[in-house]
Amino acid sequence: MTLVHGTVQRATDPYFGAPLLLQVRTRNGWLWAYNLEHLDVIRRFVQASLRERAPWYDTGRKMTLVARLPVWIKRAKNRDEILRAVSRIHASLSATA
């Protein structure tokens, strides 16, 4: 499941069709994660100042999780917004606990 720039629909589980709990709307689209580990991978990728590609990336086999992230999440200019969104998701979990 890939969300593109301007997506207005909330993310749902592809198997059960239920809305995902870990999601928040940003000005570019919905940021979502399946679980806290998935959210942490996104946070670490966005936070990284040096993003190295896997050796097979240029061969056309882009099967890594970060390779499949929407382009707007990968753009450095959106870094602060994405990190704020990740923080909002964490805050929403703390509020419900």
The pLDDT score that the predictor gives to residue 4 is: 45
43: enclosing H helix or E strand: helix 36-47
What is the b/e burial string over 69-92, where b = at least 16 CB atoms within 10 angstroms of the residue's CB? bbebbeeeebeebbeebbeebeee
The pLDDT score that the predictor gives to residue 90 is: 94
* CA neighbours closer than 13 Å in the CB half-sphere of residue 49: 0
Intervals of the chain under pLDDT 50: 1-6
Query: What pTM did the predictor assign?
Result: 0.78
The pLDDT score that the predictor gives to residue 86 is: 97
